[in-house]
Structure 1
């Protein structure tokens, strides 16, 4: 059974073919008739417009799937220039000619400079080496306590031997002073540790050490030894009787 639907005029497009041949008053609506599935089957079965007078329902067209990309031209078939092909002499002349804004042609010094890897390696390593040497000498000239003895750079050309000897003296004295300060710092640290151990021994303070807790304590120094170490004296000489007897080990291990 056909269904009847009324569509208001303001919902229809203005350029619809319905409004080209005739016009309707603004208060009038347009009634459309839709065919049912039975009508469509009857029309598809061979019934024409003249048989039953019902509209023919056309079949839904297939979906159009355009290709993902158009046809491409082969690269080898495209001409690289307009006109006849170049001769061998013209190609050689183009390679030797220098064009503005482009790389230098082959066989020139500019082409060798920009394309030589060995030349670039030599320039890079020479620059790094010169920076390293400059930093090495400037470290002594700025941070060394003997920087007042550094000779001026002008003596390098007038008195090169004296210049080298002065720099050698500055470097040697700087390293000696550095080693002496390191030794004094290490001795002060050892004395501080000895005084701390002596203080803890006299006051009965024991530190918790996980290694000594598991494996036990070894031979602990006596009070006299700790006192001598803290005060910087010579440790007392142990008598042979005080020395512990060596325990025999099984197979030299246990």
Structure 2
């Protein structure tokens, strides 16, 4: 079960969080007109999150599990501040770095070098901090040859390397990861996993979304299983994986 206690303030707290999205069924003026004439609904409300509540303590490594459409990525975006709840509260304490979408925050017309400073600034690093860690960031990314190339010419794997490298060299309290480790070759994936384990050992809070159930059960001690936008299980990660597979 979660190890948050009354004596330890949580790093992350969600309290009865609800989030709806409006799905459009038409994509042109003609389709909208025909649907209106035939009295068909133009939109449908989708309940992405329906009363989600949980606490995550400092130093916890938590896997968010569930099938597609269960609300995992929506929860992650709520924690990162990309989305706001329709009702309820999402509270965080500390600096957050999010690896939620490959290349998010990158400017395609800037070089890898320029994007390092841009992304580091977005994550709250000063220019001096970035300059001090620049060589380590580039070395970890293993794309030295392309660092002065515009990132619009990068592959998804190169995006991953640079985005991950910037995020893990930032002084963060919370690291959010959404399926990003499925991109890139196996040696770099293993390198990323090792670095994540080091961050966890150093007391950082991790929230991971992945369909690689074996990986998350090894990396995370706790699993929160979402089903239809609700918490279906919250406890040991191996038990959460069993529930999902069942």
User: Normalised by the shorter chain, which TM-score bucket?
Assistant: under 0.3
TM normalised by structure 1 equals: 0.15
Q: TM-score, normalised by structure 2?
A: 0.15
Higher relative contact order (CA 8 A, sep 6+): 2
Which has the larger strand fraction? 2
